[in-house]
Amino acid sequence: MRKLADILSTKDVDLLLENIHAGVALAARDGALIAWNSILEESRKQLKNADNLKDYFLREDRETVLNRVSGGMPERWLGKFLMHGTDPAVLCDCALIPTLNDRTLFIAERLGPESVLCDVIETLNRRVKLFQVESSFTKKLAHDKQVELDAVVAQAREVAQTDPLTFLYNRRAIIRELQDEVLRARRYASMLSVSIIDVDHFKSINDTYGHRVGDEVSRQVAQRLREGIRHPDIVGRYGGEEFIIVLPNSGAKAAGEQAARLCGQMSEMDIQVGEHTIRVTLSIGVAQLRNGDDTWDSLLKRADNAMYEAKKRGRACWVVAE
């Protein structure tokens, strides 16, 4: 099968970039904008022709954004971004893709409801109405169909929140769980912690053994994380080789103890993929919710910073955020 990139012309790509619902820009390593599509142009005008990618983010996030851009590595994260000229900034799924000549392609897609799932549910609800008639026969038929359709809707919802590779919660589902737990912790003044987990040297695994082996490593790491947490902790795939654990009613001490246990268990196990035996280690960042100060995204950011600190300390370890 021919690759799509080999078939599309420059004109085709230009039309594509101008008609998608995402902000797209090409930036230099210092964040200076080189080119952008019409979605980003709307925000640029509102910001009085801002010429650096950092200017489209909240002030407290700008240094982190510049560090990501200058790093020259593929990145993906959730961030608040000025999209479609809106004010205030909205939550977006952001991605950085390194290109030639020390440039980086930036894409920001606004997070919204699962439109496909909403369409499915709406269609199913219309079908249910067809069976809402007065006769006893049609009532019985409607009841049977409702049971069947409820099962379909439940299955569709489960599919919409499940990561197809690891069968954990996907990014949006685990973020939604985190948001709910933050609200619950605030309401009842209870403790809440979160851990961000990164598989060390995952790129080297892909480069050495191929993506098929890398996918199998992700699946086995996900399974061991699922088996290594307690109820009611929740684990989900954040993206790529990163995972999130949400720990309701747990402080930093308990979350740190869990992180230590997971790091130890993983480093003592070999992952067998076909003829390959692979030793995997984890870097984990832990943060406890500061009630009255933290939002769900600031809590996640503190855990993410702690995880990067664990990387700096040599990997295969955990760091608890202050």
Q: Is the pLDDT of residue 204 over 70?
A: yes
pLDDT score of 130 = 60
CA–CA distance, 139 with 137 (Å, rounded to integer): 5
Cβ neighbours, 10 Å, residue 159: 13
Asked which of 78-82, 157-161, 200-204, 265-269 is least confident by mean pLDDT, the reply is 157-161
- Across the range 306-313, mean pLDDT stands at 96
Chain centroid to CA 272 = 27
Q: Is the pLDDT of residue 106 over 60?
A: yes
Residues 190 and 285 in one domain: yes
Mean of all residue pLDDT scores within the chain: 84
Q: Is residue 80 part of a domain?
A: yes
Q: Which of 152-156, 162-166, 252-256 has the highest mean pLDDT?
A: 252-256
Q: Is the pLDDT of residue 89 over 70?
A: yes
Which one, of 176, 177, 168, lies nearest residue 227 by Cα?
Answer: 168
Write the CATH number for 45. Answer: 3.30.450.20
How many domains does the chain divide into?
Answer: 3
Q: Percent of the chain scored above 70 by pLDDT?
A: 78
Q: Is residue 165 part of a domain?
A: no
Residue pair 80/64 in contact (Cβ under 8 Å)? The answer is no
Asked which of 149-153, 183-187, 287-291 is least confident by mean pLDDT, the reply is 149-153
- Across the range 40-65, mean pLDDT stands at 82
Q: Is the pLDDT of residue 127 over 70?
A: no
Residues 133 and 178 in one domain: no
Burial zone of 215 (CB within 10 Å; 0-12 exposed, 13-18 middle, 19+ buried): middle
| Residues 41-60 as b or e (16 or more Cβ within 10 Å = b) | ebbbeeeeebebbbbbbeee
Task: Provide the residue range defining the domain that includes 297.
Answer: 171-320
Residues 125 and 180 in one domain: no
Q: Is pLDDT larger for residue 122 or for residue 260?
A: 260
Q: Please tell me whether the peptide bond between 232 and the residue prior to it is cis, using omega within 30 degrees of 0.
A: yes
The H or E element spanning position 59 is: none
Residues 184 and 279 in one domain: yes
Q: Is residue 97 part of a domain?
A: yes
Q: Is residue 77 part of a domain?
A: yes
CA–CA distance, 312 with 72 (Å, rounded to integer): 17
Residues 154 and 185 in one domain: no
CA–CA distances in Å: residue 14 to residues 4, 8, 18, 61: 14, 10, 6, 30
CA–CA distances in Å: residue 320 to residues 156, 302, 305, 307: 37, 9, 10, 8
pLDDT score of 132 = 55
Residues 102 and 156 in one domain: no
Residue pair 167/222 in contact (Cβ under 8 Å)? The answer is yes
Residues 95 and 156 in one domain: no
Q: Percent of the chain scored above 90 by pLDDT?
A: 44
Residues 120 and 182 in one domain: no
Q: Is residue 166 part of a domain?
A: no
Q: Is residue 226 part of a domain?
A: yes
Residues 102 and 124 in one domain: no
Residues 244 and 296 in one domain: yes
- Across the range 127-154, mean pLDDT stands at 63
- Across the range 247-251, mean pLDDT stands at 96
- Across the range 93-113, mean pLDDT stands at 83
Residues 219 and 300 in one domain: yes
Asked which of 36-40, 194-198, 207-211 is least confident by mean pLDDT, the reply is 36-40
Write the CATH number for 265. Answer: 3.30.70.270
For residue 114, what pLDDT band results from cuts at 50, 70 and 90? very low
- Across the range 3-16, mean pLDDT stands at 60
Residues 177 and 316 in one domain: yes
Q: Is residue 41 part of a domain?
A: yes
Q: Is residue 271 part of a domain?
A: yes
